[in-house]
Amino acid sequence: MIPNQWYIVLSSNQVKKQPVGVTRMGEKLVFWRDGDGALSCIKDRCVHRGVQLSKGRVVSSGHLQCPFHGFEYNATGRVQKIPANGQGAPVPERFRVHSYPTHEEHGFIWIWWGEDAPQDLKPPSFFKDIHDEFVYGQSIDPWDAHYSRVIENQLDVVHLPFVHHNTIGRGCRTLVEGPGIEWVNDNQFNVYVYNKKDDGSQPRTPEQVPIPNPDKPFKLEFIFPNLWQNHISEDVRVVGAFVPTDDEHTLLYLRFYQRFLTLPILSGWVAQLAMPFNLRVAHQDRRLVVTQEPKPSALKMDEQLIRGDRPIVEYRRRRQQLLEANSESGRGAVVQ
């Protein structure tokens, strides 16, 4: 994983009144809300004798109470109260666990994962073209794969007529022109797809295709480290967040967004109705992606790529840069 990034790790509706314990990026974390609904995230391991804090409860002060001996934690991970020592007894500084900055928007929860966040930490980015009038349905789909492989699969335009020959890849468009790549900023890029039937012509290169595509609004969008959008039309989108649980497991948070139906009940219903089809498409991919070896991808690895793999190369290149930048500055170890 790339350290020092905002990662989407949950959707908002997964954290209600009770504390929630999850594994993300290989670490056990606990999330809870105080009485005002404000969200906190700290390591899910009591500093006293190591039990999971997520088995505890939120007390009236909004602090998280360990179920074993009642230590109470605030949002910064500091113990505020040790009941056995008596009211008002000072709590030494060392009674603390690591806390993670959180951000909640668009029904997603992000954490800043890595070393301590900088003072001027900016909020994570989301797609500027998804506004409040969109309604979405969501499924959470487990994949036994490293999250980099799941991401690359969603940037892979070459697989469409093979893996999805009876769903989104109908039409036998096996010839891959482009694909066109457009970097929006350092951490976001778009992919324009120009697949067509093989008519015997030489496919145009990524440099030769127009950007954006003048014939259709369709494009793929990716924001580092783990957010993707299939921009099907102005009114219909599929969004994926690739949530790493550990180095070999990923949760795909898959959403179908629409705004062509505006009647509140009907629109939510239609968004949810679209999920079985979207999952069917995802499962066509999943049965293959889980077999990829080695599990994580890398910029330099034993694979023979082709021109149509350009989006995957762009992803790998930037990912490598971010990994190296973090290791050079000494801000966290490069794992994978």
Output the residue with the shortest Cβ distance to Fe ion.
285
Contact between 191 and 197 (Cβ < 8 Å)? no
Other C-beta atoms lying within 10 Å of the C-beta of residue 272: 15
Q: Which residues bind Fe ion (CB under 5 A)?
A: 285
**Which of the ranges 5-13, 64-72, 116-124, 233-241 carries the binding residues for ligand FES, by CB under 6 A?**
64-72
The two three-digit tokens of residue 161, written as one number: 């007529």
The sign one gets for the Cα dihedral 39, 54, 51, 70 is: positive
Q: In a 3-state reduction of DSSP, which class is residue 70?
A: coil
**Among 20, 39, 51, 97, interactor with ligand FES by CB under 6 A:** 51
Of 73 and 113, the one with the shorter C-beta distance to ligand FES is: 73
**Among 12, 21, 68, 173, interactor with ligand FES by CB under 6 A:** 68
The sign one gets for the Cα dihedral 285, 286, 290, 294 is: positive
Contact between 187 and 219 (Cβ < 8 Å)? no
Distance CA 273, CA 295 (A): 33
15 binds ligand FES (CB under 6 A): no
Of 20 and 288, the one with the shorter C-beta distance to Fe ion is: 288
Of 59 and 299, the one with the shorter C-beta distance to ligand FES is: 59
Integer-rounded Cα Rg, in Å, for the chain is 22
16 binds ligand FES (CB under 6 A): no
Asked whether the bond before 90 is cis by omega within 30 degrees of 0, the reply is no
Among Fe ion, ligand FES, none, the one that 312 touches (CB under a kind-dependent 5 to 8 A) is none
Of 72 and 285, the one with the shorter C-beta distance to Fe ion is: 285
**Among 16, 18, 26, 49, interactor with ligand FES by CB under 6 A:** 49
Residues of the shown chain interacting with ligand FES in the complex, contacts defined by CB under 6 A: 46, 48-49, 51, 66, 68-71
